[in-house]
Structure formats: structure tokens, C-alpha cells
Amino acid sequence: MEPILQVKNLSVSFQSRDSEFHAVRGVSFELNKGETLGIVGESGSGKSVTARSIMRLLPSPPSFMKEGEILFLGDNLADKTEKEMESIRGRDMGMIFQDPMTSLNPTIKIGEQIAESLIKHQKLSQKEAKKQALDMLKLVGISNSETRYNQYPHEFSGGMRQRVMIAIALACRPSLLIADEPTTALDVTIQAQILNLMKDMQERFGTSIILITHDLGVVAGMCDRVAVMKDGVIVETGTTEEIFDNPQHPYTLKLLNALPRLHEKKKPKPTPLILTDKDRERPLLEVRGLKQHFDMGKGNVLKAVNDISFHIQAGETLGLVGESGSGKSTTGRAILRLHQPTGGEVLYQGMAVNRLTGSEMKTMRRYMQMIFQDPYASLNPRLKIVDIIGEALDVHKLSGSKQERRKRVEELLDMVGLNPAFANRYPHEFSGGQRQRIGIARALAVEPKFIVCDEPLSALDVSIQSQIVKLLEELQQQLGLTYLFIAHDLSMVKHISDRVAVMYMGKIVELAESEELYSNPQHDYTKSLLSAIPIPDPKVESKKKRVLMEERTGADQYNLEHSELVEVSKGHWVAQPISTSA
């Protein structure tokens, strides 16, 4: 059978004022009808440039195609005019973008954005297009489609917006679907739903899929063949089983070895030598009955964090996991008083943080710091790195002369594995992993004892993730740091955490030592989270059964609100209904 897509010797460059950057060099591959090809590699490897070149979506200038052919259904897309491509996009080729919020028009209703493609390419009337758009919403698992049709993108969750993107991409039943990092930064449960949906749509319509991702666990469960990209070149290609069972290229091996594996035993973590017996006498941090409620207006109250309690020992890492909206990040912010807690207590070395005055809290922040999820958004783009890190030294009066300040910033950059000479650069001159290291350096500047790590690995490549985790562990050993590690990537959480707490709808539903929780989960929600984690093994992934939670109801909220943590075995706590018997 003739392949539906043939990319031959594709080379794409970007021209700047004084240089040319070769983003893609001599890339060739084929895609058959109904097949899924995974293109994997780290950020900057050329995956997305390849995908956008196929769709002819790269701006020209500065980009230009140096050579090659893109044969789609026998036609060379490289020869098509922009007007001809407009008729092909949406009708014959669809694309799911990485960030649906920036890809959806915030001023147009969701249903109208789906109908737009049907009206343009299939010449349907408004009434018929609306009917088919409603059918697509139901098909991608969005209930109450009549109401949802008239809502705007900001009224949908991240997973729901991605479903809408799939509905738009598949509305005209295209032959080819390109999914560019469609599950990056989504929770594992939502990711599992999106991947199942793509598989289902493929079976229904016979669509061919190019899946671009850096998550090899996703590739194992989705793809028939895999192409591995590095520095704009495909360095290895083969069936999914061949790539996972017998990788040939050192780079492929590096990607596979960087993956955390749930079945592997956690290596024992040495206790930081800097800590004394006095440090271990009582918990460094205690959270007692913490509540964080938000007034949503019209009498509605969002109970983001609803009466949770836990403690963290000095030198310990407590992992806090759960899907988006479970209350993880709000918990971290309430502990640090970035939100003023509605109720409960936060004790740092016995001192009630929630009762401190503004000036006292400013002093306390020297001992309690935060590493934010998006290092680019949290770094001032107008300041050089020396001033971003140095600002914390200035606020707490920890720097003397300008030379001493500079020297301390360079020491911190060296500590997190960056060249001290980078101090004079701006944030946009760094990669995502480097920016996260700068965020860590800034947090360390005031010599804290406790750090809230709020999704520090989100959207980073697996190899960069493993580097950041290794860095955090080394710093913990050297400096005696204590972490609250917030994440939705449960594989990585297991390896960095001593204990793990699972949050669901504002409550902690299970808490245990990491090895115990992963090997013997007790709560249904924990089982659902663990079953949704993609396993980087095609044989295992094809046989795995996922335990999906039912849709949340008011009864679920009531049952959680009237539950308490009960110790079911030593150190293993699970939420159970409060007994109402006398």
C-alpha cells in the first residue's frame, strides 16, 4: 500500500540577521494508513519544526525549507501555495497543539470554533454545522454538550480544552492527525483519557497519527513505530518493540535510561550529615487542620484545601501528589502564606506561621522558600540573572559590597551546575532546564531550611527531569534541606520522596512511605493514579488495565468532608468515613 505521507530529505533553517540555524537536517520517514508514528527527542531536537513543516505552519521568514519533499496523498506539499494549504489544513490534515489555551480563540464560543471548520471545508449550513459540532463534543467525551457548546475556553479545564482541540482537529475526518506534545503537563489520569480518546478516534476514522512527545511511556502505549531525533537529525528508527528492547544509538539509550521506573526498588537515601539529633527531635514543619477556602460569589465557596494535617521531619522529602484542582499547589502557597489560610495552623519549628505579622513573616521567608512550576514566568525577563538572585540577598540584607554580592551569586550558580559567567545573561537566553536551575539558585540564596517545590519538573524533558531531581537530592544531602515536593508525575515522586501524601478534592486520602504506597495502595483514587502512569515497556503497556475513577459528584464531596485519616498499618494512613455510631 502506498504510504499516506512520505517525508524525503527534509531540511529546514532559520535565518537571523547574521547567522543561519539548521533546525532540521535531512529528515526522511513514511507513514501508512491507520498507523501511529512517534517522534521523540529532547526540546530543541527538531520534532515540532518537522511537524509544522509538514503542515506548512512555520513563518517564512525567518524559516525556509532548504530542500526536500513532503508527499501527502501523492502531492508534494512543498509546492503548494498558502491558499491551497488552507484548503488542505482541517479537511485532510489536522493538528493538536501542545497548549490548547493559546491555540483556542478566547473570544469565540467553543462550539463555534468546531463548527467553523465544518462550514469552511464541508460547506455546511450553520444549523447542520452546529449539529455535527455537538456530535463531536459528545464523541470526545464532553457531557452536557448543549451547554458546553456556548461556553468559552477559559470555562474548561486543561484536559477538557485538549478534548476540544481533538474535536476541532477531527471534525472533518482528516486522513492525517499530528499531535504535538498533546499531553505535556496534564495529570496522568487526564493524559490516560486523552490517549484513550485518540486511539478510539483512530479506530473509528482510520486516521494516521504522528505523535510528537518526550514521554517514552506514552510512546510505548500508543505507537507502532518510533523515530528518535537529536539536533535536527533522525538518529534511529524502528518498530516500538525494537526501539525499547534493542536500542542501537547511544542517545536512544540515554533517553530510556533517564526514565524513572515504578517497579524498580527505591534506593535508600542517606540522612544529611549536617543534621544533628536535636534537629530530629520534633518535626521541622507541622500542618494542623489547614483550610483554604475561596469565595466564588453568589454564595459559592470553593474548598480548595479542606482540613488537612501532616508533618515533615528535618531532612525529609514529603511528596504531595494528585491531579489538577486537587489542592496541592494551594497547600504549598498556604503554608508559605502566599495565600492567607482560612483556618488551621502551620508550625515551623513550633512557631505558628499563620499568626506572624507582616514584618515577622518577611523574616520567616528566609527559612521557607519556594521553587515555582514555571521558571520563565517567575523570573523577571528585564533583569539579569545576577540581579534576579541578588535581589533576595538585598531584601534580607545578606550581601555586603557589590563585589561580595556578585561573588555569592556566582557561587550559587556553580552550586546548581551553571557556569558563573552566565550571571550577566537574561532569562530568555536559557533553556527550560537551565531556568529551573536558576529558580533553585534563587531559592537557595537566603540559605533556607524548608523548600516547597511546586511542580518543578512539569513540561521538562525526562533527561532534564532526572538532572533536576539529582541536583535537589545532592543539595539536600549537602545543606540538610527539607522538601515538600508537589507533582503529578508519580514515577519521579517515588524516587525523590521518603513519604507520599495523595490529595483528592482538597483532602489527603492516603499517606505512607513511598515504597509502601506504590506497592500496596489502599484508596481507590491512589489506585486510579498509579494505574494511569504510562509504563515505558510496549509489552507491559499493551496488557495493562487502567482503574478509572467515576465522575465526581456532590456525594463524593460529602463523603470526603466527613472522612478522617485512619492508620491501617504502621505509618500508612487512609481516609475513611467518620463513624456516626454512639
* Bridge partners, 233 (sequence order): 230
Phi, psi of 498 (to 5 degrees): -80, -45
Between these two residues, 489 and 301, which has the higher pLDDT value?
301
- Provide the grid cell at 196: 484513550
DSSP 551: P
Q: What average pLDDT does range 465-491 have in this prediction?
A: 89
Q: What average pLDDT does range 523-544 have in this prediction?
A: 82
Shortest CA distance to 10 belongs to which of 32, 22, 27? 27
In a domain, 546, yes or no: no
Domain that holds residue 430: 277-523+558-577
> Measured between alpha carbons, how far is 508 from 223 in angstroms, rounded to an integer?
36
Percent of the chain whose pLDDT exceeds 70? 95
- Provide the grid cell at 274: 549536617
User: Does residue 545 have a pLDDT over 60?
Assistant: yes
In a domain, 21, yes or no: no
> Measured between alpha carbons, how far is 405 from 384 in angstroms, rounded to an integer?
14
Angle at 327 between CA 326 and CA 328, to 5 degrees: 100
Q: Report the range out of 343-347, 486-490, 536-540 with the highest average pLDDT.
A: 343-347
In a domain, 297, yes or no: yes
Q: What does the pLDDT read at residue 121?
A: 92
Cα 112 off chain centre by: 29
- Provide the grid cell at 127: 444549523
Cα 285 off chain centre by: 27
Predicted confidence (pLDDT) per residue in 319-329, tens digit:
999 887 789 99
Q: What does the pLDDT read at residue 446?
A: 92
Predicted confidence (pLDDT) per residue in 422-451, tens digit:
999 998 888 777 888 999 999 999 999 999
Strands of 455-505, DSSP E: 482-487, 499-504
Predicted confidence (pLDDT) per residue in 252-263, tens digit:
998 888 777 766
Predicted confidence (pLDDT) per residue in 22-47, tens digit:
999 999 999 999 999 999 988 788 99
Evaluate the omega torsion of the peptide bond into residue 62 and state whether it is cis, within 30 degrees of 0.
yes
**Secondary structure element (H or E) that encloses residue 37, with its range:** strand 36-40
Q: What does the pLDDT read at residue 579?
A: 67
Shortest CA distance to 489 belongs to which of 259, 211, 166, 213? 259
Q: Return mean pLDDT, the chain.
A: 88
| Secondary structure of residue 390 in the 3-state scheme | helix
Handedness of CA 544, 180, 99, 453 (dihedral sign): positive
In a domain, 235, yes or no: no
> Measured between alpha carbons, how far is 134 from 111 in angstroms, rounded to an integer?
7
> Measured between alpha carbons, how far is 190 from 198 in angstroms, rounded to an integer?
12
Output the CA–CA distances (angstroms, integers) from residue 547 to 142, 388, 529, 532, 552, in the order listed. Answer: 20, 45, 8, 7, 15
In a domain, 449, yes or no: yes
Question: One-letter amino acid identity for 392?
Answer: A
**Into how many domains does the chain fold?**
1
Strand-strand pairing, 572-577 and 507-513: antiparallel
Helices (H) and strands (E) in the chain, counts: 23, 22
Q: What does the pLDDT read at residue 582?
A: 41
In a domain, 484, yes or no: yes
Q: What does the pLDDT read at residue 438?
A: 92
Tell the residue number behind the cell numbers 502531492, with chain if given: 75
Q: What does the pLDDT read at residue 16?
A: 78
Least confident of 177-191, 234-248, 541-555: 541-555
Q: What average pLDDT does range 512-516 have in this prediction?
A: 94
In a domain, 282, yes or no: yes
| CATH code, 399 | 3.40.50.300
**Secondary structure element (H or E) that encloses residue 524, with its range:** helix 524-532
Q: Give 292's pLDDT tier (boundaries 50, 70, 90).
A: very high
- Provide the grid cell at 235: 538518529
- Provide the grid cell at 108: 469565540
User: Does residue 273 have a pLDDT over 70?
Assistant: no
Buried b (16+ CB within 10 A) or exposed e, 461-481: bbbbbbbbbebbbebbbebbb
In a domain, 219, yes or no: no
